Amino acid sequence: MESPGSEHVPHAPLAAAVSFRVMPSVDDPMVQKWMRFRNAVVPGVAVAHPPEKSGRSTDGAKASGEMSGAVYWRLVASNNRELGRSFYLYQNAEQARRHVERIATITGRLDVTAVVDGATTRRGWVLNAEGGPVMTCARWYTSSSTAAAAAVSALSALRTARLLPAPAAHFSARRRPTSAGEGAVL
């Protein structure tokens, strides 16, 4: 019961967010772990970077040495639980941001593909746009119904997700920050 003079103000639900991770190198252990998971969800992946508007992959940049770091994005709930992650690695945060913005404009045309890890019968999902994957599940699920519910939740969250303004630089266990300016936690 409310006390006299007080008003009930409903709390607005906290929206999901898209965060960007900038890693120092594609050889970083966290990027390698991300790639192993992605390749298990979508086996036989040869493309690392999103296609340009022309439909051509930008993988040539990595081969030519233009890419020194790696960027990927994560869709996270208001409690910071990861709901999904980018299918692609990006050359920089701006490229990743533009791709997420483009995906957000076509969420009504995204389709979900259920996947099964044949070795363990774990379940997962992939969101596809214009014939190719753009986002994968963030983890494996034990049942098809749980994976399907998670895919629906992720797609719904993606529709209203806010893009966090600044990419977060992350450091692997191999390279620890040496000063507060490099991201040390004080």
Give the integer Cα–Cα distance in Å for 81 and 5: 38
Structure tokens at 74: 């994560």
Phi, psi angle pair for 112, to nearest 5°: -105, 135
Per-residue pLDDT at 15: 86
Q: Comparing 99 with 167, which gets the higher pLDDT?
A: 99
Residue 179 has pLDDT above 80, yes or no: no
Structure tokens at 179: 């000063």
Per-residue pLDDT at 47: 57
Per-residue pLDDT at 171: 54
Per-residue pLDDT at 169: 62
Q: What is the pLDDT of residues 151-165, one digit of tens each?
A: 999 999 999 999 997
Q: What is the pLDDT of residues 95-133, one digit of tens each?
A: 999 999 999 999 999 999 999 987 888 999 999 998 899
Interacting residues of 82 by C-beta distance below 8 A, sequence separation 6+? 74, 75, 76, 138, 139
Per-residue pLDDT at 69: 78
- In contact, 167 and 20? CB cutoff 8 Å: yes
Phi, psi angle pair for 158, to nearest 5°: -60, -35
Residue 142 banded pLDDT, cuts 50, 70, 90 = very high
Residue 35 has pLDDT above 50, yes or no: yes
Give the integer Cα–Cα distance in Å for 163 and 167: 10
Q: Comparing 55 with 173, which gets the higher pLDDT?
A: 173
Give the integer Cα–Cα distance in Å for 60 and 4: 67
- In contact, 75 and 69? CB cutoff 8 Å: no
Cα dihedral 138, 36, 92, 61, rounded to 10, equals: -150
- In contact, 13 and 94? CB cutoff 8 Å: no
- In contact, 80 and 35? CB cutoff 8 Å: no
Instruction: Report DSSP state, residue 10.
Output: P
Mean pLDDT throughout 70-86?
Answer: 94
Mean pLDDT of the chain: 78
Give the integer Cα–Cα distance in Å for 169 and 24: 8
Give the integer Cα–Cα distance in Å for 146 and 134: 21
Query: What percentage of the chain reaches a pLDDT higher than 70?
Result: 68
Q: What is the pTM of this model?
A: 0.74
Per-residue pLDDT at 12: 42
Residue 168 has pLDDT above 80, yes or no: no
Q: Comparing 135 with 176, which gets the higher pLDDT?
A: 135
Give the integer Cα–Cα distance in Å for 64 and 59: 9
Per-residue pLDDT at 55: 41
